[in-house]
Amino acid sequence: MERPEIDLRSASVARIFDYYLGGAHNFAVDRELADAAARLMPELPRMTQLHRGFLARALNHLVDQGVTQFLDLGSGLPTVGGSAEVARRLDPSSRVVHVDIDPAVIAHGKHLLDSADTTMVLGDMTEPDAVLDHPETRRLLDLDRPVGLLMVGVLDFVGDDVDLAKVMARYRERIAPGSHVVLTHYAGAGDEDYFRTRQLYRDHTIDFHPRSGPEVTELLAGYELAEPGVVDVSMWRPEAVEDLDGEPERSAVHVAVGRRP
């Protein structure tokens, strides 16, 4: 069996996400950074769980709309509660292309996939044409039919050097009417612990770029927003009391689902 090329000296956001979710696909370097960050911002694991809860509710909505093919941009590792598992539980014919910029995530992820209807693609989600024209994307997804573009926990890592409005517009142009985009974005917190956490991540070459609710709304220009629009993650169609319970004061994760008319 091919061995994944994983650099055990560098922390990975995908594996930190896995650690906060209680998963087993993380290493000491990830856990050390994750624990240090959570000492400054104890709400981080809970925020990660809120992302996963929203992903499941949004996928439920998309499958209800007849969407069964998904392009998961910045997918991280395809583990429990991830897009492929949830989508295929909702509709076993679902197909999922996972795209990630981190070669370690791709190598590791390939070993976790358990279906011919899912694949891992090394790519930069800020390059829509390269992602959409990738042979693996074309092999699994029919772009003449509606597709679900998942941007969950990824735009946070795209800096202002990228014209994100242009990226979003290009995806919108290229996907079929009836396609949907599922988006989350961290809004940031203005306090000292937040800035120390951001610096801690930067020291590990990971940077995140918070955006405000109006900025997130602008990114969705040209999409029809599903009710209730751009809202805090806990407010998007909460299904269970737990979704609202223990909501961290600083969760500040904006989410939305948009439909391409």
**Interface positions with ligand SAM (CB under 6 A):** 13-14, 17, 51, 55, 73-76, 82, 99-102, 105, 124-126, 152-154, 157-158
Nearer residue to ligand SAM within complex by CB, 154 or 230: 154
Residue number of the CB atom closest to ligand SAM:
76
Nearer residue to ligand SAM within complex by CB, 12 or 68: 12
CA distances from 1 to 27, 116, 122, 163, 200 (A): 21, 17, 20, 40, 36
Q: How far is the CB of 153 from ligand SAM (least distance, A)?
A: 4
Nearer residue to ligand SAM within complex by CB, 89 or 261: 89
Q: How far is the CB of 127 from ligand SAM (least distance, A)?
A: 8
Nearer residue to ligand SAM within complex by CB, 17 or 70: 17
Q: How far is the CB of 261 from ligand SAM (least distance, A)?
A: 25
Buried b (16+ CB within 10 A) or exposed e, 76-86: bbbbeebbbbb
Q: How far is the CB of 31 from ligand SAM (least distance, A)?
A: 15
Nearer residue to ligand SAM within complex by CB, 55 or 175: 55
Asked if 30 and 11 touch (Cβ cutoff 8 Å), the reply is yes
227, 179, 224: which is closest to 66 by C-alpha? 179
Q: How far is the CB of 83 from ligand SAM (least distance, A)?
A: 7
Q: Which residue has the tokens 């104890």?
A: 42
Q: How far is the CB of 12 from ligand SAM (least distance, A)?
A: 7
Whole-number Å distance between alpha carbons of 120 and 54:
22
Nearer residue to ligand SAM within complex by CB, 203 or 224: 203
Whole-number Å distance between alpha carbons of 73 and 55:
13
DSSP string covering 50-68: HHHHHHHHHHHHHHHTT--
